[in-house]
Structure formats: C-alpha cells, structure tokens
A = this chain, B = another copy of it.
Amino acid sequence: MAGKVAERRAALRDNLIIIAEKRIASDGLSALRARDLASDAGCALGAIYNVFGDLTDIVLAVNARTFHRLGADVAAALADAPQDPIEQLVVMAQAYHQFAAANLHSWRALFDVERAPGEAAPDWYLHEMGQLFAYISDPLAVVFPNRDPQELALLTRALFSSVHGIVLLGLDGASAGVPSDDIDKMIALILRQFTSNP
C-alpha cells in the first residue's frame, strides 16, 4: 500500500510539472496560481503542498526542463556549425536567440523565478548554468589560448551575459525592441568584434 501512495504522489508531481509548464509557456510566470494548477490537475489545493514545498519548487522543476530543452537546441546548432570557434559561438548565440523567441515565457521564467533575498540558487540550477557555460568556454579557450582558467571563466560569463542582454532587450517590445534580424546582427557584431584581437 505504501508503494501505491508513493506512486500516486510521484504521478501527481509529474502531472503538476507538466501542467505548470503549459501554464507558464502560455501565460507567463507572473500569472501562475496554485489554485489554477489544482483545478487543471483535478486535485485539492492542499494536495499540491503534499508533493511540493511551494509554488517556487514547481517553477524550479519546470525551469530544469526548460534548461534541458535549451541545452539540446544549442547542442544541435553546434553539431551543424563550422569548425571555426568564432562561428561556433555565433551559431550557438543565435540558437539561444531562437529558443528565447520561440519560448518567450518559459525562457523568461528561468531568470524571473523569485527567491528569498540572499538565498543562493540551488545546486542543480548552478549545474545547468555551468553546462551552458561549457558550450561557450570550449571555443573561447581555442580563440584565447593564453588566458588562465579564471580569466576564461570571466570572459565566458561576460559573453553569455552580453548575448543575454542583446536578446532580452531585443525581444522586449516594451522598452527598446528591435527587429529580430537586428538581434542576430548585434550578436554576430559583438562576438566577432570581441574575438577579433585575442
């Protein structure tokens, strides 16, 4: 019987993640409400808190799936990219842009998830970020062979943040939106210029 209960809890957990993923993808993180999830799942509101600590825990589980999909897209772009490390960076950054544009709400949830001030990001989150950063630091190490690992880590983080900023402001029609074509142009401009004098 204990096995059945555990099984049901696991099924509800998986179901709630899928439901929350759909809600975030269509309406955005800020519209996510526990009562809507309970209603979609056909369970009592309290049942959610039997399997998740709070709403943020569900969002983190959804974000884990989004990180995996993003990583898969970046890896697929890399597989088709030329051997040239600078072109690899450009192709991956443009894949990042495409993913963000096609999954706007889910992508924004990766960065908009709220955490208590001072509370560190969970290990799995930092691990997922680390995986993404490895895609960038590998070609960067080829372009900048004389930088030590610490400098390379800083370069990697700076470049990722730069591409993220270009995509974020570019996709945000409310502040200073630019056509999607120009986002890819800006990405290529920054990356080529950045790597032109190693």
Contacts and interface: CB of A to CB of B under 8 A. Distances in A.
Interface string A146-162: 00000000110111111
Contacts of A111: 169, 172, 175
A14 B30 CA distance: 30
Interface stretch (A73-81, A84-92, A188-196): A188-196
A118 interface: yes
Interface in A157-198: 157-166, 168-170, 172-178, 182, 185-187, 189-190, 193-194, 196-197
Each complex incorporates copies of this chain amounting to: 2
A194 B186 contact: no
A153 to B, nearest CB: 10
Contacts of A186: 154, 157-158, 161
A132 to B, nearest CB: 10
A168 to B, nearest CB: 7
A106 to B, nearest CB: 15
A41 interface: no
25 contacts: A111-B172, A115-B173, A115-B174, A117-B173, A119-B173, A121-B176, A126-B176, A129-B176, A154-B182, A154-B185, A154-B186, A155-B189, A157-B186, A158-B186, A158-B187, A158-B190, A160-B169, A161-B165, A161-B166, A161-B169, A162-B165, A163-B165, A165-B165, A190-B194, A193-B197
Interface of A: 30, 110-111, 113-115, 117-121, 125-126, 129, 154-155, 157-166, 168-170, 172-178, 182, 185-187, 189-190, 193-194, 196-197
Given A161-B166, A161-B168, 10 more contacts: A111-B175, A115-B174, A121-B177, A154-B189, A157-B169, A158-B189, A161-B165, A193-B197, A194-B194, A197-B197
